[in-house]
Amino acid sequence: MRRVRALAIACALSLVAASALAHPLDPGLLELAEQGASGRFAVRFVAPRAAPALAPIWPAACRVEPDAAVLDCGAARLAGASIGIAELERSGASVLARVRFGDGRVLSAWLDARTPVFAVPMRASRAALFLDHVRLGVAHLFGGLDHLLFLAGLVALLRRGRPLLLAVTAFTAGHSVTLACAVLGLLHVPPGVIEPAIAATLVGLAWELARRAEGRGAATQRPLVLPFSFGLLHGLGFASALDWLGVPRADVPIALAGFNGGIEVAQLALVVALRCAAALLAPLARPLPPALSARSAALAPVYTIGTLGVYWLLTRLAAVATGL
C-alpha cells in the first residue's frame, strides 16, 4: 500500500509540474500617499506581471492629473470613497491596494476577482490588515511551484503521519525564523542568492529521494534536519515578497503574523490534498506489476523534482550572471 501511495503522489507531482511555473508572487501594487492633509495623493501603480494592461478605477469625486501621478480628491477626501482595478475579475491577477494618509494612517486591502474594489474606511482595521496578509501568504505559496514541490517532495519522502507532520512543522519553523529576521531588518540576502539557493534545495530533496529509493536515505531517520535547514532558505524567499510590498514599520508584526499564517494554512492544505489524492488514485496502480509499481513510485518524484530543480537552478544562475 505504501508503494501504491507513493506512486499516486508521484503522478500528482507530475501533473502539477506540467501546468505551473516557478515561484514569483508578482502581485500588482496600487499605492496612494497623501501629501500633507491636502486631499492630494501621489499615485504609484505597478501592474501584475500576468496582466500588465490593468488600470486603476478612481472615485468620481476625485480628479486624476494628466500624468496620472497625482489623484486630487480635494475637500471630498478619499475616506469613504472606493478605488479599484478595471477588468480585475477577468484577469485572474491580484493587486495590493494601500492608502497612506497625511496623518500617518495606513489602510490596505487585497484586491482580486472576488473583491476588485476597495471601499476606503474612515479608520484602519487591524483585523482587516491581518486577513489581507493571510490571503497574501496563501496566494504566495500556491503561486510558487518551487515551494509546492518541496512540500510535495516531503510527502513523498516521509508519507507517514507523524514524521510528515513533524517535517512540515520544522519547515514552518525554519522559514518563520528567517522571514521574521529579514522583514525586521536583521538579515538581508540579495534575491540573486536566494532564488538559486531555493532551487538547489529541490535538487537536494531529489537526491534524498533517490537515496531513499536505494535504502540509504538519512532524511527518514532525521526528519527534522532537512526541512528545517531548507526552510531557512525558503523563508528568505517569502521575505523578499513581503519586503517588496513595503509594509509600514508599525504594521510589521500584524502583517508578519498574517502572512506566515497564510503560508501555514496553504502548506497544510497542500499536504492534506496530496494525501487525499494518493488515496483516491491508489486503485489505479493496483493492476500494475509489483516491480513496475515500486520502481515508478521510487523514480517518478526523483525525476520530477530533480529535473525542475536543476532547470531552475541553472536558469536563475544564468539570470544572475547576465544581470551583472
Residues 60 and 18 grouped into a single domain: no
Residue 6 — very low, low, confident or very high, per pLDDT cuts 50/70/90?
A: very low
Task: Look at residue 12 in the predicted model and tell me its pLDDT.
Answer: 46
pLDDT, tens digit (0-9, with 9 covering 90-100), for 225-255:
778 888 888 788 777 666 655 666 667 788 7
Residues 153 and 79 grouped into a single domain: no
Task: Look at residue 102 in the predicted model and tell me its pLDDT.
Answer: 79
pLDDT, tens digit (0-9, with 9 covering 90-100), for 192-202:
788 888 888 88
Is the residue at 202 inside a domain?
yes
Is the residue at 132 inside a domain?
no
pLDDT, tens digit (0-9, with 9 covering 90-100), for 262-280:
888 888 888 888 888 877 7
pLDDT, tens digit (0-9, with 9 covering 90-100), for 119-172:
887 665 677 778 878 887 887 788 777 888 888 888 887 766 777 888 888 888
For residue 132, what are the contacts with CB-CB under 8 A and spacing of at least 6?
96, 108, 109, 110, 258
Task: Look at residue 130 in the predicted model and tell me its pLDDT.
Answer: 83
Residues spanned by the domain of 36: 28-125
Total domains, the chain: 2
Phi first, then psi: what are they for 139, rounded to 5°? -65, -35
Residues 267 and 318 grouped into a single domain: yes
For residue 9, is pLDDT > 50?
Answer: no
Exposure string over 83-120, b if 16+ CB within 10 A, otherwise e: bbbeebeebebbbbbbbbbeeeebbbbbbbeebbebeb
